[in-house]
Amino acid sequence: MFQNFSFEGFEVVHIDWILPLENETLQNYALRISENIKDENAILIGLSFGGILSVEISKIKKFKKIFLLSSAKTKSEIPFYYRLIGKLNLLKKLPNSILKRVNSLTYLVFGAKTNAEKSLLEDIVRNTDNIFLKWALHQIMNWKNENYSENIVHIQGDSDLILPHNFIKYDYLIKGGTHFMTLNQSKEIEIIIMGNWL
């Protein structure tokens, strides 16, 4: 999702997802992930669920700056209909085959327009572990967070159908930006990030 970004002159470290433990909380997962982050003077960039995780990691370690892309900072920025699904525990009743189905509606909702973007989305869905997928969706829908670090810069797209901007207290709004805006509007986002780097 960051393949079109260029952070020349900086050491870029990609943090790999790890499988959650049974009944693991997001806070404990963030603690385990944070053990792989050695430099507390780093810049943290989180996309979508990675942004939510970044908010939790920022409570454990200090960062020079945290950038959230197509994400949320608090439970109030998670659309009420997701929270309702979480409250009613409807996710458990959905079979993995439905969650991992990719079709024209999936492309529309994520904002995948080109063949390359559609192919990437298919790869992401196909290669996401079933246990991790259900766990992550459960964490998003049941997130209780109300606090976040002051050094967060939130960038949201005005055409994001996954996390609509009208629920978000954003710092920058990308015109035409979808949930896939890191791919097709990367330069605009990169300029904002570099302008707020320090």
Q: Tokens representing 30?
A: 């963030």
Q: What pLDDT score was predicted for residue 17?
A: 92
Domain ranges of the chain: 27-195
How far from 127 is each of 34, 61, 121, 122, 189, CA to CA, in Å? 23, 29, 10, 8, 26
27-195 classified as CATH 1.10.10.10:
no
Over its length of 198 residues, how does the chain's per-residue pLDDT go in tens digits? Answer: 888 888 777 888 888 899 999 999 999 999 999 998 888 788 999 999 999 999 999 999 999 999 999 999 999 999 999 999 888 888 887 877 777 788 899 899 999 999 999 999 999 988 888 889 999 999 999 999 999 989 999 999 999 999 999 999 999 999 999 999 999 899 999 999 988 876
pTM exceeds cut of 0.85: yes
- Bridge partners, residue 152, by sequence: 66
